[in-house]
Amino acid sequence: MSKLDVRIETLPPMRVISAYGFGPQPEGIAADKMSAFLKAKGLLAGYGSAIPHYGFNNPNPSSGSPNYGYEIWALTPPGVEPEGDLRLVQFSGGLYAVTRFENLENIGRVWAELVKWRENSPYQEACHQWLEHLLNPLEPDMTKYVFELYLPIKE
């Protein structure tokens, strides 16, 4: 197990646009919806920098089925409204343990290490949303993805 570099961060409340996918690879479904929406609004160039990308399983994978859901949130400028099956979400924010890593293949291992870090820290498990912050969602090579994982905590 590698030693994680963990920081504590409070995410403020946010108004986000949500795209949803369901199936054996729902991340791609949700990402395609979000990218198409942002492109139509002339906002795609800022996706990942000026427009942060957060994602999470919804619902989580379950044994016996290859299908699960994935939801992507984009923090868009004021006045941008969802269209089609995208929806508006008011996220209440919260306290998080955050770590950064590269390469999508590492996501399961790093989540497990971050949970283990919390178990050995003075922080407790909290109930707000777990988040995967993809810093470069337009990168075509998944081995070059840069993530920050946000694990909900409380003092």
Instruction: Catalogue all structural domains in the chain, each as residue range(s) with its CATH number.
Output: 6-154 (3.20.80.10)
- Distances in Å between the alpha carbon of 138 and those of 33, 35, 109? 13, 8, 23
For range 127-136, the mean pLDDT = 98
User: What rounded mean pLDDT belongs to the chain?
Assistant: 96
Across the range 55-70, mean pLDDT stands at: 94
Per-residue pLDDT tens digits for 2-58? 689 999 999 999 999 999 999 999 999 999 999 999 999 999 999 999 999 999 999
For residue 60 the two structure tokens come to 């989580």
The whole model's pTM is what? 0.94
Amino acid in position 103: N
Question: What DSSP designation does 104 have?
Answer: G
Cα-based distances in Å from 152 to 16, 74, 126, 128, 137: 18, 19, 5, 6, 22
